[in-house]
Amino acid sequence: MAALRLDHPNPRTALNWRTPFELLVAVMLSAQCTDERVNKVTPELFAAAATPEAIVKLGLARVRHLIRSINFFNTKSANILKTCKILIQAHDSQVPRELDALVALPGVGRKTANVVRNDAFGEAGIVVDTHVIRVTNRLKLVRGTDAAKIEAELEKLVPVEEWRFAAHLFILHGRATCKALKPDCERCGVAEICPSRGLKASAWKEAL
């Protein structure tokens, strides 16, 4: 991971947030949507309502209107309202840090849960999204596209103290250099140990 840290010394989510609840909502909104778009929407949303109680009081129609430029805003607004009600009723209006409790919330999968656990609570966990799937496959660290299997494989390869930052490093590398359609290999800081350029996969695994 040290090689990637040279290019990205401060790996963190690109989403803007102030509280665990704001981060949870922002990550829910980011599914199949860019972080940039989410960051344009959340200031107005959180100015209107920044707690579960305030979101519920705001109501579905108003939440839907405030996030209308987000992909799948109808489904996401409904899930946010359902999640807020569960947080109020079952968690004293607090975002839980336990993985099982997070994934039980409507619209929250392992990716969202791990982002919240990593960034809001400092808990170890490896986030797997499309960037992580693409980059780790190109680096021959994993095979396939099953997120749960990739998470388990990376947990075996990446030192536990790096779990919180691994996904951010892979995501940042995927966005800036190892792009989906045309990876910029000539400007890649880890090209000399990349098996997609003909090198052995063990070179990257040994560098983790």
Give the relative orientation of helices 147-157 and 110-121 as an angle to the nearest 10 degrees.
Answer: 40
What's the CA gap between 182 and 6, in Å, rounded? Answer: 22
- CA 207 from chain centre, in angstroms, equals 24
Catalytic position from the list 7, 35, 119, 129: 129
The CA-atom distances, in angstroms, between 179 and each of 32, 54, 126, 205 are 17, 39, 20, 21
Q: How many CB atoms lie within 10 A of CB 48?
A: 15
184 annotated active-site: no
Catalytic position from the list 92, 111, 179, 184: 111
140 annotated active-site: no
Q: Tell me the catalytic residues.
A: 111, 129
